[in-house]
Amino acid sequence: MRSTLTSRRLSLVIAGLVVFVDQLTKRWALAALNGGQVVVIPGLLAFELNTNTGAAFGFLRGGGTLLGIAAIVAVAVILHMTTETVRPLEHVALGLILGGAIGNLIDRIVRGDGFLDGAVVDWIQLPNFPTFNVADSAITVGAFLLILGALRRP
């Protein structure tokens, strides 16, 4: 029991760190990138402020309420999953996904006029790829780790 509690705590600490860094960097992007692009590594990495009322790649544009509800359900499911697993890799992955989901959900709650219809702040730009944020990155890395863990499971 104690081991499961300690492992779950790992998920929650990672989620909290992701939310903190995500919201901090979004605040910075809103203040520093208004109306311009900052090229960090020419041809590879730039910072450019964008907002997204849909999902990744512009899918479901304007579907913030539906996506917000889906995020709330995902958060509840992930929180439950953290009580069911004991493998550290899975707890790291779930913490990353949980933090990313909460980070983007915060945007949907506080950056709109209606119920969960706020736009998510995106600011990291790679060539030939839509802008994204720390929360999106955490979700992607967490999903990759879950898949890796499933492939390595005996």
Say how far apart CA 104 and CA 140 lie, in whole Å. Answer: 13
Q: Is 117 left (phi over 0), alpha (psi -120 to 50) or beta?
A: alpha
With residues binned 3-state (H G I as helix, E B as strand, rest as coil), the percentages for the chain, rounded to 5, are 65, 15, 25
8 Å CB contact between 134 and 120: no
Q: Known catalytic residue: 122?
A: yes
Q: Known catalytic residue: 22?
A: no
Say how far apart CA 9 and CA 17 lie, in whole Å. Answer: 12
User: Exactly one of 22, 107, 117, 136 is catalytic; which is it?
Assistant: 136
User: Exactly one of 22, 107, 117, 122 is catalytic; which is it?
Assistant: 122
8 Å CB contact between 110 and 121: no
For the annotated catalytic residues, the residue numbers are 122, 136
